[in-house]
Amino acid sequence: MAEFDINRVAGRTAAGTRTAVIDAGLRAHMNKVYGTMSVGTLLTFLVAWAVGTSPALLGAFRDPVTLSPNILGWIVMFAPLIMVFAFGAAINRLSASGAQLFFYAFSAVMGLSMAWIFVAFTGYSIAQIFLITSISFAGLSLWGYTTKKDISAWGSFLIMGVIGLIVASVINIFLQSPAMMFAISILGVLIFAGLTAYDTQKIKTEYIQHAAHADTEWLSKSAIMGALTLYLDFINMFMFLLSIFGNRE
């Protein structure tokens, strides 16, 4: 009996040690996710500000008066979407440093595609919406990280919503309907708010699963993938909120 008790205690101690190691690793992992995402977000807004406040640079992509995109502007507009699919296809062939470099390149291109907002909206309005988005994102992501509720079932519904938003947005490029744009923006805020919580929980859950199997190759690149996912949630939420509440020049 004494031997059994000793073995049982030893087993519990080992299990507790593994749990503590995974918890410490998870905190470091999430810090890297949020840190990488923050750098990418800062890079996006710096590029957008630099181009958007320079008539010469912005004129290379859009008409300076109407802000209608030219051929290069259309390319820049759809380049981030193409890069996201390319990243997903190439992630297994990229090193961790290569994935991080790709993410920062993507962030810069996203800044080019967003530069027009610094002409269309007041600087105060952009700063105000950015602050609102940051607070909302932080709250939603924290809830997704700490909640005991399994929200994985949200995934299919939210992804279908994103696909619907993309299709509706492309159609509205040609229709130019303010009512349709307003509806898209409202739905966009709700969908990406849900995705922020869902993606945070997914990043946490996937880390725990892979850490338990010591999948070091996956762990080395997963923080970049998580940063990209949450970055897209943040940027899209910001753009939809700006469309609804932003004060135009």
- Give the model's confidence band at 183: pLDDT under 50 very low, under 70 low, under 90 confident, else very high: very high
Question: Residue 204 to residues 70, 73, 87, 148: CA-CA distances in angstroms?
Answer: 42, 37, 21, 12
- The predicted pLDDT at position 213 comes to 66
- How much is the pLDDT for 2? 52
- What's the pLDDT at 144? 96
Domain boundaries, the chain: 2-245
Percent of the chain with pLDDT over 90: 65
Name the residue with tokens 């190439």.
90
Describe the crossing of helices 123-146 and 216-245 by its angle, rounded to 10 degrees: 140
* Contact by Cβ (8 Å): 207, 191: no
pTM for the predicted model, two decimal places: 0.87
Residue 10 has pLDDT above 50, yes or no: no
Pairwise pLDDT comparison (6 vs 217), residue with the higher score: 217
What is residue 9's predicted lDDT score, i.e. its pLDDT? 45
Q: Which of 3-17, 44-58, 68-82, 164-178 has the lowest mean pLDDT?
A: 3-17
Average pLDDT, the chain: 88
Dihedral angle computed from the Cα positions of residues 101, 103, 105 and 111, in that order, rounded to the nearest 10 degrees: -150
Q: How would residue 14 be classed by pLDDT, with cut points 50, 70 and 90?
A: very low
147-175 pLDDT tens trace: 999 999 999 999 999 999 999 998 998 88
| Closest alpha carbon to 61 in 71, 77, 73, 49 | 73
Q: Indicate the pLDDT class of residue 100, thresholds 50, 70 and 90.
A: very high
Q: What pLDDT does residue 93 have?
A: 85
Question: Looking at residues 25-42, what average pLDDT do you find?
Answer: 94
